[in-house]
Amino acid sequence: MAPFGVILSAVLLASSKTAPQQQLLEVCLSPGCIADGAKETLSRLCAFAPPGVQVLPGKCASACGAGPVVMDIMTDDKKIVHKRVSGDVLLNLLLEGINNKDEKEGEEKNSSCAVPNEIIEGYEIIIQADDAMSKKDYEEAAALYRQGIDAALQIALDLHVGSTHSTSTAPPPGLEWLIRAHRLEAEARIKTHDAQTALEIATKAWELSNQTNRLCLEVMAQACQELKDAKGELNALRTLLVEMDPEENAPRDVLNRMRTLGFRLAKLEREAK
């Protein structure tokens, strides 16, 4: 079996062609599959999927005990159920779908592995950063997030920005994990009292998200508050609470947080008069 990174390289290179139709993969998130690691499979598929491959959370695939389960949704509404999708199986699934498209279009099957494996390296480093963050080792977390971002960001931008499946209103799905990593690095740097760097990183995350990620604005406002930059905090909160549409079906904790931020915004507006 080919090494994990080599398979990913083949996935990325094979996906560089423009495909007329997207491959749709749904990851079963039933309790049994979650216990088998489905959330990690979903996260990895979202991070590794090249342009032309859409990954979504799905419902029960009736393959309990064989998770993580991924359904390959065909254009004729047929479904292929893939069982125990993790590791090399996960990447082979992506590569198989891309090469099948090439064969249907009469193109030569692509098995080259010329593309470096920065994305997988960056992803694994960010997993380590998440672990450090959960242990409240904020200095280590910040350093690891930066290392992972630096490893993966440029190749991810080259792959996804300007692809035929990206839009001007939302970032390409393949960048979501890196936007999250930027935001969490900013949060870690606030904890280490480096609010200026945190603000710069959170602003970068906001830009990468095509100015759609609400959590980035929250971190920007928090960094500005630490810096005693009332104007910057006011602008961030106004964008979040006034200019952006309310989040649909937001959970109670998010609604409570927005309510608290609303009080903060009102206070800043009174002080600005």
Output the pLDDT for position 97. 54
Residue from 206, 86, 208, 185 nearest 138 by CA: 185
- Bridge partners (DSSP) listed for residue 28: 58
Mean pLDDT over 77-101 rounds to: 69
Token pair listed for 235: 């602008």
- When pLDDT is cut at 50, 70 and 90, the band that residue 62 belongs to is confident
Tell me the HSE value of 269 on the side-chain side, using a 13 A CA sphere.
12
User: Over the stretch 173-188, which tens digit does the pLDDT of each residue have?
Assistant: 789 999 999 999 999 9
Using CA atoms, how far residue 58 sits from 37, 41, 48, 262, in Å, is 14, 12, 18, 34
Q: What share of the chain is helix, strand, coil (3-state, %, to 5)?
A: 60, 5, 30
Contacts of 216 (CB under 8 A, 6+ apart): 179, 182, 183, 202, 203, 205, 206, 209
User: Over the stretch 234-260, which tens digit does the pLDDT of each residue have?
Assistant: 999 999 999 988 887 889 999 999 999
What are the DSSP E strand ranges found in the chain? 23-28, 53-58, 70-73, 79-82
Mean pLDDT for the chain?
A: 81
For residue 232, give the H/E element and its range.
Answer: helix 230-238
Cα gap 95→15, rounded to integer Å: 8
Domains of the chain with CATH codes: 4-104 (3.40.30), 118-272 (1.25.40.10)
pTM of the model: 0.79
